[in-house]
Amino acid sequence: MLSAQERVHIAQVWDLIAGHEAPFGAELLLRLFTAYPSTKTYFTHLGDSPDQARLLSHGRRLLEAVGVAVQHVDNLRAALSPLADLHAHVLRVDPTNFPLLIQCFQVVLASHLQGEFTVEMQAAWDKFLMGVAVVLTEKYR
Protein backbone atom coordinates (compact mmCIF):
# COMPACT_ATOMS: atom_id res chain seq x y z
CA MET A 1 0.00 0.00 0.00
CA LEU A 2 1.35 3.40 -0.97
CA SER A 3 0.81 6.43 1.24
CA ALA A 4 -0.72 9.62 -0.13
CA GLN A 5 2.73 11.21 -0.21
CA GLU A 6 4.25 8.24 -2.02
CA ARG A 7 1.51 8.48 -4.66
CA VAL A 8 2.40 12.13 -5.20
CA HIS A 9 6.05 11.18 -5.74
CA ILE A 10 5.10 8.44 -8.22
CA ALA A 11 2.88 10.82 -10.18
CA GLN A 12 5.43 13.68 -10.17
CA VAL A 13 8.19 11.50 -11.58
CA TRP A 14 5.88 9.88 -14.12
CA ASP A 15 4.90 13.33 -15.42
CA LEU A 16 8.55 13.84 -16.35
CA ILE A 17 8.79 10.48 -18.16
CA ALA A 18 5.42 10.45 -19.94
CA GLY A 19 5.92 11.13 -23.63
CA HIS A 20 9.52 9.89 -23.47
CA GLU A 21 8.87 6.20 -22.86
CA ALA A 22 11.04 4.99 -25.76
CA PRO A 23 14.33 6.77 -24.91
CA PHE A 24 13.99 6.14 -21.17
CA GLY A 25 13.10 2.50 -21.80
CA ALA A 26 15.97 2.02 -24.26
CA GLU A 27 18.46 3.44 -21.77
CA LEU A 28 17.02 1.18 -19.08
CA LEU A 29 17.57 -1.90 -21.25
CA LEU A 30 21.06 -0.82 -22.29
CA ARG A 31 22.03 -0.35 -18.63
CA LEU A 32 20.43 -3.69 -17.71
CA PHE A 33 22.26 -5.64 -20.44
CA THR A 34 25.57 -3.89 -19.72
CA ALA A 35 25.54 -4.08 -15.92
CA TYR A 36 23.96 -7.55 -15.81
CA PRO A 37 24.92 -9.37 -19.05
CA SER A 38 23.07 -12.54 -18.01
CA THR A 39 19.79 -10.66 -18.59
CA LYS A 40 20.57 -10.60 -22.32
CA THR A 41 19.88 -14.32 -22.55
CA TYR A 42 16.15 -13.54 -22.54
CA PHE A 43 16.51 -11.24 -25.50
CA THR A 44 18.52 -13.35 -27.95
CA HIS A 45 16.26 -12.16 -30.77
CA LEU A 46 17.54 -8.63 -30.14
CA GLY A 47 21.03 -9.78 -31.14
CA ASP A 48 24.34 -9.55 -29.33
CA SER A 49 24.50 -5.78 -29.46
CA PRO A 50 20.90 -4.81 -30.04
CA ASP A 51 20.42 -1.91 -32.42
CA GLN A 52 18.89 1.29 -31.19
CA ALA A 53 15.60 0.78 -33.05
CA ARG A 54 14.96 -2.51 -31.26
CA LEU A 55 15.98 -1.13 -27.88
CA LEU A 56 13.67 1.82 -28.44
CA SER A 57 10.73 -0.32 -29.40
CA HIS A 58 11.04 -2.80 -26.54
CA GLY A 59 11.92 0.00 -24.16
CA ARG A 60 8.78 1.87 -25.15
CA ARG A 61 6.57 -1.19 -24.56
CA LEU A 62 8.16 -1.80 -21.17
CA LEU A 63 7.75 1.77 -19.99
CA GLU A 64 4.21 2.00 -21.36
CA ALA A 65 3.39 -0.95 -19.10
CA VAL A 66 4.92 0.95 -16.17
CA GLY A 67 2.68 3.87 -17.18
CA VAL A 68 -0.37 1.59 -17.00
CA ALA A 69 0.77 0.53 -13.53
CA VAL A 70 1.10 4.19 -12.49
CA GLN A 71 -2.53 4.76 -13.52
CA HIS A 72 -3.64 1.68 -11.53
CA VAL A 73 -1.57 1.81 -8.34
CA ASP A 74 -4.53 0.49 -6.34
CA ASN A 75 -5.33 -2.28 -8.74
CA LEU A 76 -2.00 -3.57 -10.04
CA ARG A 77 -3.02 -7.20 -9.97
CA ALA A 78 -5.95 -6.71 -12.35
CA ALA A 79 -4.22 -4.13 -14.53
CA LEU A 80 -1.11 -6.29 -15.06
CA SER A 81 -2.74 -9.71 -15.15
CA PRO A 82 -2.08 -10.48 -18.86
CA LEU A 83 1.52 -9.31 -18.47
CA ALA A 84 1.92 -11.54 -15.40
CA ASP A 85 0.69 -14.53 -17.42
CA LEU A 86 3.16 -13.68 -20.17
CA HIS A 87 6.17 -13.47 -17.83
CA ALA A 88 5.27 -16.54 -15.79
CA HIS A 89 4.03 -18.94 -18.44
CA VAL A 90 5.49 -17.84 -21.78
CA LEU A 91 8.71 -15.92 -21.14
CA ARG A 92 9.56 -17.71 -17.89
CA VAL A 93 11.85 -14.89 -16.78
CA ASP A 94 13.64 -15.84 -13.56
CA PRO A 95 12.18 -13.59 -10.82
CA THR A 96 15.70 -12.72 -9.61
CA ASN A 97 15.99 -10.49 -12.69
CA PHE A 98 13.31 -8.07 -11.56
CA PRO A 99 15.36 -6.36 -8.82
CA LEU A 100 18.14 -5.87 -11.40
CA LEU A 101 15.73 -4.08 -13.71
CA ILE A 102 14.40 -2.00 -10.82
CA GLN A 103 17.95 -1.01 -9.89
CA CYS A 104 18.66 0.14 -13.45
CA PHE A 105 15.34 1.97 -13.61
CA GLN A 106 16.34 4.07 -10.60
CA VAL A 107 19.73 4.85 -12.11
CA VAL A 108 18.01 6.07 -15.28
CA LEU A 109 15.75 8.31 -13.21
CA ALA A 110 18.63 9.64 -11.12
CA SER A 111 20.84 10.36 -14.10
CA HIS A 112 18.12 12.33 -15.88
CA LEU A 113 16.35 14.05 -13.01
CA GLN A 114 19.45 14.62 -10.88
CA GLY A 115 18.60 16.94 -7.98
CA GLU A 116 14.90 16.75 -8.82
CA PHE A 117 14.95 13.03 -7.94
CA THR A 118 14.72 13.32 -4.18
CA VAL A 119 15.45 10.63 -1.61
CA GLU A 120 11.70 10.36 -0.96
CA MET A 121 10.98 9.94 -4.67
CA GLN A 122 13.51 7.15 -4.96
CA ALA A 123 12.04 5.38 -1.94
CA ALA A 124 8.50 5.69 -3.36
CA TRP A 125 9.60 4.42 -6.80
CA ASP A 126 11.48 1.50 -5.31
CA LYS A 127 8.40 0.46 -3.35
CA PHE A 128 6.10 0.93 -6.34
CA LEU A 129 8.34 -1.01 -8.76
CA MET A 130 8.77 -3.82 -6.23
CA GLY A 131 4.96 -3.99 -6.11
CA VAL A 132 4.86 -4.28 -9.90
CA ALA A 133 7.51 -7.03 -9.76
CA VAL A 134 5.54 -8.95 -7.13
CA VAL A 135 2.51 -8.97 -9.40
CA LEU A 136 4.51 -9.93 -12.50
CA THR A 137 6.18 -12.85 -10.72
CA GLU A 138 3.40 -14.25 -8.54
CA LYS A 139 1.88 -16.56 -11.15
CA TYR A 140 5.01 -18.73 -11.27
CA ARG A 141 4.93 -22.22 -9.95
> Looking at 79, 101, 109, 124, which residue binds ligand ZNH (CB under 6 A)?
101
> Looking at 17, 56, 62, 108, which residue binds ligand ZNH (CB under 6 A)?
62
Of 3-11, 14-22, 39-47, 115-123, which part binds ligand ZNH (CB under 6 A)?
Answer: 39-47
CA separation for the pair 88, 118 (Å, rounded): 33
Residue 61 found at the interface with ligand ZNH (CB under 6 A): yes
Residue 88 found at the interface with ligand ZNH (CB under 6 A): no
User: DSSP state, 53?
Assistant: H
Give the number of other CB atoms < 10 A from CB of residue 117. Answer: 19
Task: Find out whether 67 and 61 touch, Cβ atoms under 8 Å.
Answer: no
Write down the number of H helices and E strands in the chain. 7, 0
As measured in angstroms, the least distance from the Cβ of 122 to ligand ZNH is 16
Task: Find out whether 110 and 117 touch, Cβ atoms under 8 Å.
Answer: yes
Residue 31 found at the interface with ligand ZNH (CB under 6 A): no
As measured in angstroms, the least distance from the Cβ of 98 to ligand ZNH is 5
